[in-house]
Amino acid sequence: MGKLMRPAGPLFLFIFLSFLSHVTASSCDMSLDDMEVYHPIMGNQNEDPWKDCRSSSGQGGSDSVAKFGHRKRALGGEHWVGGHKHFRRVDGGVGSFGDAVRAPGGGNYDKFMPSAQSPGSGFGGGVTGSLSTEGGDLGAISSKPHGFAAAVTGGGSATPVIPRDVKELESLLASDSPAVIHLDKVYDYRGTFGTCTNCKGCVPDSYLQCPSKGQLAIDIGVGWCEGKRSQSVTYDKAGLNPLIVGSNKSIIGISKDAAIVGRGFIIKNVKNVILQNFRIEQINPEFVWGGDGVNLVGAQMIWIDKITFYLIGRQFIRTGTDASTATISNNHFDCHTKWSATCDDSHYWTLLAHGSGDRITFSGNLLDKCSGRSPKIGNLKGGDSVWHIVNSMFDTSSGHSLDLGPGITVLVEGNVFTNVAQTSLHESHPGRAFAPSDEAVCKQCTGVLGRECQPNAYRNAKPVPSTSSASVVLKDVAPERMSGALPPGKAAQTVLSTAGCDGKGEASSGNSVVGGEAGGLGTSVGSVKEDYGTGTGTRDGTDDEDDISGQGLAKSEHGAGTKSQESRVGDALVGGGAKGT
């Protein structure tokens, strides 16, 4: 990436004012979204993406960050990792990643990353972070409604209906009447809106790095393509027209073939909806802005459970801009793709949450080879969003997992991170996050939640840093009333056997999610680098960010011929010190 030369004098002023006239109004709704975060393969770096939105975020200057760290160890290992503090790096030190993670580099990366504390210092002094399977209950991983959407009932006692075809399904979804809709086959919407041939598009910067396996972009008219090279694109228009879902609906897959192909869902200004046990896939995977899987806008009591997301051009799930209340549980976010914005066969646009006051429980999910936004959370329109990220597995990322921006409160507990280059992107003023990984800190949850928190565990991954104390975060999470969380080892076992619509959290590659050794894979002591997020495009209320559709098989083949999770868990996970073969 070459450096841009800044023109001098009046010419620069003219260009700058012209730029502001386009950007200022849209920066905080992020119409200029791009994946300009640091990535070790792409080598790109963007400055703090939220800086234009600070005045409405309610989060002030540097005194609000850089205070809370933990002393942690690697998953099942004995190597200490310093607890993180949040301040900009000035020493230019280089962190050490495991063999499975590509090491970062570049002057901007060294310049802007926060560094870690020395071993032995930090907030709390206990020792956990191993794959313990002792204790806990199934409060956070459950086949019943739980978390912020525990009161959801969907279609209630309405007589179940199996739609005959895609037209009847669309009609049932949009109706005003309560409905229990059973899906028994593939409902393939590709071609139902026709094809847009040689339509406006553009070439993202990432595509130039790998044209044989990157994503082109559809120009949907929000300014994202401005400044990029124009490119004609041909895509299925169904993905730009998501299925509208009315209130009081249960949409439940009742067979292994149950799938929605080529279109996602828009759940806007409605309440009481259940999506459960089917696949959402093949929504223009070749294209940025190719379509979302599920789009929540001002939606209340939404439960998204046991869905397998696969080959979707844009976000698997997104929220914005009006507040939503949802539980996102037991899902398989399968990010394997041939069209990668990070040039490594992994999907980048995973989950984006920009609702102004969202309340989200994110539990028991498998994020499988996702190279970014897992999730990306930021509150840009005022209010304060609250997330509980619990008992989920983040497996194999060449980029980052969490991206925590301003105006949010997040409890991160009982999760497992394996082979993740950057567990969390952090800015100069990140959101309020509490991510315990030692026993002493976990005990601080008792007074507010009535239980201890569960530690997060890591292998070939750096600990997620806390940016606020337990008391600041937990008071916002307490109304969720979660009865408990599993320890990370037990969570890993459960997620591997239950995530996704087929009850298997397996990826198309068939590789072990945990893989290799459960113990002994320590991470080095010393400087630990994190990263910054980027702005993200959003339209107005209806389908605020994306929509479009895709090509490929009408039936997903991921998971075929793979080894069962149960046997892999027994070999690789049970007990913090067990060795794999």
Residues that are catalytic: 373
Task: Count Cβ atoms within 10 A of the Cβ of residue 194 and give its class: 0-12 exposed, 13-18 middle, 19 or more buried.
Answer: exposed
Asked if 562 and 334 count as a contact pair (C-beta separation under 8 A), the reply is no
Closest by Cα among 532, 411, 403 to 468: 411
Can you tell me whether residue 289 is helix, strand or coil?
coil
Asked if 33 and 205 count as a contact pair (C-beta separation under 8 A), the reply is no
Can you tell me whether residue 325 is helix, strand or coil?
strand
Backbone region of residue 416 per phi and psi (left: phi > 0; alpha: psi in -120 to 50; beta: other values): beta
CA gyration radius for the chain? 22
**Both structure tokens of 565:** 């999770």
φ and ψ at residue 468, rounded to 5 degrees: -145, 165
CA distance 317 to 1: 31
CA distance 271 to 152: 9
Q: How far is C-alpha 257 from the geometric centre of its chain's CA atoms? A: 26
CA distance 559 to 556: 9
Asked if 303 and 275 count as a contact pair (C-beta separation under 8 A), the reply is yes
Closest by Cα among 141, 85, 150, 145 to 413: 141
Instruction: Show Cβ contacts of residue 562 under 8 Å, excluding neighbours closer than 6 positions.
Output: 504, 506, 507, 510
CA distance 477 to 450: 12
CA distance 374 to 318: 11
CA distance 554 to 238: 14
Please, what's the b/e burial string for 230-261 (b: 16 or more CB within 10 A of its CB; e: otherwise)?
Answer: ebebebbbbbbbbbbbbbbbbbbbeeeebbbb
Point out which residues pair with 362 in neighbouring strands: 328, 389
**Both structure tokens of 527:** 């400087």
Can you tell me whether residue 480 is helix, strand or coil?
helix
Asked if 419 and 397 count as a contact pair (C-beta separation under 8 A), the reply is yes
